Structure 1
């Protein structure tokens, strides 16, 4: 027992300082993470884009100004449907290879594969083209064009004769 009398108690454990560099880094990291998690999110806003287009009724005369001149959109009609072909302004707008069809009923010209002015309806107050005289090949070509326009462009309206009941109801 003599050996136990000479034993010295161990020194008390030293407390590590709280503000060590690694602790400061960890505390900073947690504060930043908490801020990122709890900060308010910005309000949701709708993307800005072109103004919405309302589906309208057109007559050949009211369709005509939509030919891409004077900053107007470029519309054309195929079998009574009016398409906004403004994204294809290089083709259908002023100076493009299909510019004759801008603001017009392009049905017969597309069916016949002709850009000639004679393919366009001359009497804007008269009836729409009834497509008489077109053969099966022309009708097939027309269906192909119609599908292409339906897939690629937005339909913005319908084309009706100037003196029709629909035109009168639409105030045209």
Structure 2
């Protein structure tokens, strides 16, 4: 009788160890160990063409409007940003497309997409924005900060005839 009693007792010990919760915990433990020890593929970064900082005039900025394969640049407060990553917004057909290849400062400051906000005379002086009020200048500063956080500065905008515009490109 003792043999039978030991056999039943041994069976009870195994049923305590192999419970559904213990099986779930064991599988979870194995999964966590696998996730920690599994090989990870090397990190790949997107390739970009190197960007050279350069000086633009309104006329030399104009071709960077996103038509075809050209990048999309626009100027905000004298800085030229590569907004190609936002081509859906700034490229052809986008809501801000009229700013592509141009100085967008006045339009952004005034919250207007109207063509009258853009420089018409590409060979004339740059818009000094001196007639804008504090509210518009604060709005422009906000836009400029947004662009600095999101896009790369690729150059600066200078008027035609300035010493910087006339300097040879490297």
Structures share fold, TM-score greater than 0.5: yes
- Matches of 2:168 and 2:148, distance apart in 1: 24
What secondary structure is seen at the aligned counterpart in 2 of 1:141?
helix
The Cα offsets for residues 84-118 of structure 1, whole Å up to 9 and x where unpaired, read as: 00000000000000000000000000000000001
- Matches of 1:163 and 1:83, distance apart in 2: 22
Structure 1 residues 47 and 152: CA distance shift in structure 2, 3 A: closer
Match of 1:158 among 147, 152, 156: 156
Structure 1 residues 60 and 49: CA distance shift in structure 2, 3 A: same
- Report the alpha carbon displacement of residue 170 of structure 1 after superposing the two structures with TM: 3.5
- Matches of 2:50 and 2:62, distance apart in 1: 21
The answer for the alignment partner of 2:123 in structure 1 is 125
- Matches of 2:48 and 2:67, distance apart in 1: 18
Unaligned runs of 5+ in 1: 1-45
Alignment of 1:16-165 (within 5 A): 49-165=47-163
- Matches of 2:94 and 2:161, distance apart in 1: 32
| TM-score normalised by the chain length of structure 2 | 0.72
The Cα offsets for residues 6-53 of structure 1, whole Å up to 9 and x where unpaired, read as: xxxxxxxxxxxxxxxxxxxxxxxxxxxxxxxxxxxxxxxx96612101
In proportion to residue count, which structure has more helix?
Answer: 2
- Matches of 1:68 and 1:86, distance apart in 2: 7
The Cα offsets for residues 42-68 of structure 1, whole Å up to 9 and x where unpaired, read as: xxxx96612101001100000000000
- Report the alpha carbon displacement of residue 71 of structure 1 after superposing the two structures with TM: 0.7
| TM-score normalised by the chain length of structure 1 | 0.71
